[in-house]
Chains A and B, each alone.
Chain A
């Protein structure tokens, strides 16, 4: 093997331009491949966010069009009407659900004067039963008690006991026990009584992926300012039927209201709709990668075929003076390996450069280094696969060619 490398290099030196072109193509492919794969993985990771709620058992139902002063009456009618639907485990009033439209986004401060900013968080406001229905996992403190459900006159209760996610607790009070801590939102005042494991905000984090779990659960009494949005819970197997019945029964329960269909879906459907864009982008990136590998492979096939044809006489001579078919096959395989390796070396630098450029324009972390060896392996395999056909054709050249003039 090592003995073969010298003549191969000598031969390549005579085809500097073609060699350089294949290497360049491999290098470009390597750069695009590594970065596109990285983009795909980051996209798909986004779609795996833990919402913290029992997604498969939950659905939301949103009503619009009713007279806003009749909220209290509407809530009463809808709650009792929907609870009568067979298979319905619970119905509660909420302001928003994960992956739905956001309704309670606000900035909070850690002091009453509003000097020490805590960031923009999401207020999930829920009526009695909603905490249990969501299936939030409590990790410390206590769940809301009946007294905690305060009447509200704005989008959140004016004063209340709330629960925060562990991520938000760590952000607001990095080194302290969050239980009993206070925070303010304008003139509204809150005290933390419990911490939940996860609760993702409806429409992602405004301050980047790290803020996606900056959520607060605020128990509140349904009323004029908390009406029209309902959280339904049923057995996952029956959920879609229950939701269908619920949508249909609104015509009887609340003829004055209109069902907002895009917001009245199961959480699983909302989630899938929410990430549709990301999945589409990932799909398009996969398409680019496949096309890229295909074109690269075809390029290698084309040039290798050309070389085989050009060197038929030389191959014949080598065969005539004792080289086996295996020797010829290995010659072309080794040659391809050398060129591809050269391309990969260049490609790693390019991949890194492309990543730095992408980071400048998009919110992307550094390309993890392990992508480079994986990309290299893929390209080596691709090169060997592409060269196999032409190399086999070369190996099939009979020794008698040496004695013929073209």
Chain B
């Protein structure tokens, strides 16, 4: 029966090409626009580390002085160096890493290359295992090596390609900021989007090319980037003076493998704050937060509001297109009142007619979905020409491709419901008589 109805649908669509084309066009435009923006939203609000992000938590504590205290306020978004080191050495989480970012000048051995700056991440040892950074060659440094301020560096694949033409460079020397570093590892292509572990660098399409032990950076006073927030007499952070302990400028990440551990860790942060207050360092009542990756991204509102606005607009547009399709479909079905009357008189049930008409709208949806897919690809190409940092990420993936067709067919079926129902209400006798 399905095959027969499909045949009928195609015949009927061919009979009135103008109306069919209008419906397909409306669906294609609506689907194209909404899929373009939905894809951008999907890419931007995606999980940077699928499967892992649930057990990674960002710790916030409140070391500020009593001035301007408001218990409803969020604690600072980063930690001070002293608190970061205390939490790191406490080692209460399954894994933990203290980090900050910056940029360092690379002085290549090849005389053909001018010195250039690369983005750097200064971090403690657990960074690579916690964030599942894939190694192409070698490995990271150990916590003990980090504490010993070794001159070790892990470089990104792009830098390895540039300096060593992609060869295994582990063991070779890299001169940066006037010091020699031994390359201990080369990462494979790795760029979590959004750049969740440090959002101060820009949220999207940002990746470091060198990874150095934090303690080494502290000793060499390498250039820092990102944000520094101070209070009271806090200062420093200019040139090669480190920010004082009244400034937050580092990120502290933990890996906690079960919700119970996360709850225990939050408890630990409260106790830590109380201890520090007893010692006279902290002045405020404990104010701690422990958010996992997705909550942290939500809290920071990383998805640009323009993108949400565009998405809303596109769905408004899809709604207009659907109302439009309902109208056209109604016109189309009602025009076939006579034909439907004959079929009813010959014994077709209302249900059969209804199914037949819905199949017809499904076909329109499928064709419209295909048109919408082409339009969405064009739309994404347009998005990629834009200057935003996320523009390069706007690509359609398989799941979005499927969603396009499902959305198109569902939307058109929905649009076909009302007209099909109306058309099935026709009294067969009346139609037969008038002709």
- The one of B22, B314, B387, B388 in contact with A288, judged by C-beta atoms closer than 8 angstroms, is B314
Specify the main secondary structure of chain B where it touches its partner: helix
Give the contacts of B296-321 with A (CB-CB under 8 A).
305-306, 308-310, 313-314, 316-317, 319-321
B328 touches A288 (CB 8 A): no
Contacts of A309 in B (CB 8 A): 335
Partner of B305, one of A36, A305, A362, A406: A362
Which residues of A are found within 8 Å of B30, using beta-carbon distances? 295
Is B51 at the interface (CB under 8 A from chain A)? no
Q: Tell me the complex Cα distance, A171–B44, Å.
A: 38
| Least Cβ–Cβ distance between B6 and chain A, in angstroms | 24
Select B387's contact among A17, A280, A294, beta carbons within 8 Å. Answer: A280
Tell me the bound Cα distance from A250 to B335 in angstroms. Answer: 77
Q: Tell me, yes or no, whether B174 is within 8 Å of chain A by CB.
A: no
Q: Does A29 contact B (CB under 8 A)?
A: yes
Which residues of the partner chain A approach B105 to less than 8 Å between Cβ atoms? 65
Interface residues of A in 24-71 (CB under 8 A from B): 24-25, 28-29, 31-32, 36, 39, 64-65, 68
Instruction: Tell me whether A306 and B310 are in contact in the complex, defined as CB-CB below 8 angstroms, given that A22-B327, A280-B386, A406-B435 are known contacts.
Output: no
A303 pairs with B328, CB closer than 8 A? yes
Docked complex Cα distance between A161 and B435 (Å):
95
Query: A194-226 interface mask toward B, CB cutoff 8 Å, 1 = contact, 0 = none?
Result: 000000000000000000000000000000010
Closest to A279 in B: B387
One of A24, A298, A310 near B22 (C-beta < 8 A): A298
Q: Is the CB of A292 within 8 A of B320?
A: yes
Does A139 reach chain B (CB closer than 8 Å)?
A: no
**In the docked arrangement, what's the CA distance between A301 and B18, Å?**
10
B18 surroundings in chain A (CB, below 8 A): 302, 305
A296 and B387 within 8 A (CB): no
Q: Write out the residue numbers on chain A whose beta carbons fall within 8 Å of the beta carbon of B19.
A: 302, 305-306
Q: Are A291 and B33 in contact (CB under 8 A)?
A: yes
A21 touches B323 (CB 8 A): yes
B324 contacts A by Cβ under 8 Å: yes
Contact B316–A28 (Cβ < 8 Å): yes
Cβ of A32 and Cβ of B310 under 8 Å apart? no
**Which of A39, A154, A296, A406 is close to B320, meaning CB atoms less than 8 Å apart?**
A296
Within the complex, the shortest CB–CB distance from A339 to chain B, in Å, comes to 11
Interface check B98, CB cutoff 8 A = no
Q: Does A18 contact B (CB under 8 A)?
A: yes
A281 contacts partner chain B, Cβ-Cβ < 8 Å: yes
Hey, which chain A residues are within 8 Å of B386, CB to CB?
277, 280
Out of B324, B387, B418, B435, name the residue touching A25 (CB < 8 Å): B324
> Does A129 have its Cβ within 8 Å of any Cβ on chain B?
no
- A window 230-250: CB within 8 A of B: none
Q: A300-326 interface mask toward B, CB cutoff 8 Å, 1 = contact, 0 = none? A: 011101110110000000000000000
Task: Report Cα–Cα, A183/B314, bound state, in Å.
Answer: 48
A301 to chain B: which residues have CB within 8 Å? 22
- Encoded as 1 (CB less than 8 Å from any A CB) or 0, chain B from 114 to 134 comes to 010100000000000000000
Are A21 and B335 closer than 8 Å at their CB atoms? no
Looking at the assembled complex, report how far the CB atom of B237 sits from the nearest CB atom of chain A, in whole angstroms.
Answer: 11
B217 touches A (CB below 8 Å) = no
Interface of chain A residues 145 through 165 with chain B (CB within 8 A): 154-155
B331 touches A288 (CB 8 A): no
| Cα–Cα, bound, A22→B325 (Å) | 10
Q: Which residue of B lies closest to A39 (CB)?
A: B309
Q: Does A361 contact B (CB under 8 A)?
A: yes
Contact with A along B1-45 (1 / 0, CB 8 A): 000000000000000001100110110011001000000000000
Assembled-state Cα–Cα distance A354/B326 (Å): 23
Name the 5 nearest CB pairs between A and B, nearest first: A306-B331, A299-B324, A21-B327, A276-B387, A25-B323
Q: Give 15 pairs: A residue, B residue, CB < 8 Å, sorted on A.
A: A65-B105, A65-B117, A68-B239, A225-B238, A276-B387, A277-B387, A285-B313, A291-B317, A295-B321, A299-B324, A302-B23, A302-B324, A303-B328, A303-B331, A362-B305
